[in-house]
Structures are given as structure tokens and as C-alpha cells.
Structure 1
């Protein structure tokens, strides 16, 4: 395992976001488009979890996202962040919901 200075970690802007809408993307097997509220702004974030989760698993729930990544186009949709999940060695992915009482937009560290 490669080790990093803690200052590298502080470069990431991780925030709590509320998924307002989620939908499977056409012509893909794995992509879900999420419309996420971060309090001061809404963002579109594309996640590759449609093979393990349905849109209903996301809608109305809060999760942690990394916001200061370079935008990336996936199947023609610009993704402006990344959902944080847990993944086992056998590639099973677990969603990590945030408790309801945590305000949208809260910084995570």
C-alpha cells in the first residue's frame, strides 16, 4: 500500500449531497445519472453502479461526494463529481448513506 502525506487528503472537497433524481442512462449497462443538491448548487454526477443498484436506491437519500475533480463525459453526459462508496475485494459495492440530520453541503473529512 502506498502511503501519502495527510496534506494530499485535504486537497479533496468532499460534501454531503442529497440525490433529488436518479435514472439509468440509455445504451449503458452500468451508468446511473444522479441530480444532486449540495445546498449552494445542484450537480449532475454519473455513477457506474446500475449493475448493482437501481435509481430508487439513490433518490431522496444523502451520500458523500468528491466535488473538486475535473469534469468527465460519460455516454455524452458531463459528470461533475464522484460518489463515495465501499467496495470489497470481490467487487461488491456498498452505498454509504449519510444520516438525515446531517445538512446538505456539509464538508466531510
Structure 2
């Protein structure tokens, strides 16, 4: 797909809700080798998010980290669990996900603008 085929309008982009979240807890999701079950504080709201980070991070490594969360995706089922958001990450040269974060400490729930 070419770069011009991927273009979205500014109005389409405005629909994406991105917020700073603080990871409160993380654990391996039973029955899934690649998925962590993560609880994220979004400032007055906690969300359960399933994320494909288990091969690259130990749960205790990411607790208390500030991350960027897309908060308005449709929920997705993982077995009996429902993921209500997506934690954003970039990939390094080896394909390892690198969690997106903020340079300075900020409050959970801060809107990305």
C-alpha cells in the first residue's frame, strides 16, 4: 500500500482518542504465550487491556510505567477476557515492541493532543 493510500483526513484522525495511562498491574494471560493482561489507570478510570508484550517484557518490568493508550477502540475478546483499549508501541530493528511514553511525568488520563 502506498503512502497516499494510507492518508486519512484530519477529521478522521480527530476521532482517535489517545491518553496517558499508568500501568497498575500486569500478568501473563493464562492460555496465551504472547499476551499480558494489563490494568491501566486512565485518571479516574481503570481499564483492562490485553497486549502482545509477554515475549518481550516481564510483567513486573512495566508496572508503574506511563504509556500511551488508544481508548476508543472497539473491545476485543481474548478467551474469557475483554481488552478495552490498545497500548501503543514502536518496533525496533529486531521487531521488539518499545512502549511509547512521555518524556516528563504527567497525570494518568492526560489527553494526547
Scaled by the length of structure 2, the TM-score of the pair is 0.88
Alpha carbons of 1:56 and 1:100: their partners in 2 closer, same or farther (altered >3 Å)? farther
Higher relative helix content: 2
Per-residue Cα deviation, 1:50-83 (whole angstroms, up to 9, x for no partner) = 0111112210111000011111111221100000
Segments ≥4 residues shifted beyond 6 Å: none
Whether 1:11 aligns to 2:15 is yes
2:40 alignment partner in structure 1 = 36
Matched residues, number? 109
The structure whose Rg is larger is: 2
Scaled by the length of structure 1, the TM-score of the pair is 0.91
Per-residue Cα deviation, 1:73-102 (whole angstroms, up to 9, x for no partner) = 112211000001002465221112334521
CA RMSD between the two structures: 1.5
Question: Paired residue for 1:63, among 62, 67, 72?
Answer: 67
CA contact 1:62–1:99 (8 Å) conserved in 2: no
SS of 2:107's partner is: coil
Question: Paired residue for 2:50, among 29, 38, 46?
Answer: 46
Whether 1:84 aligns to 2:99 is no
- Rounded Cα–Cα distance in structure 1 between residues aligned with 2:34 and 2:27: 11
Structure 1 residue runs without a partner (length 5+): none
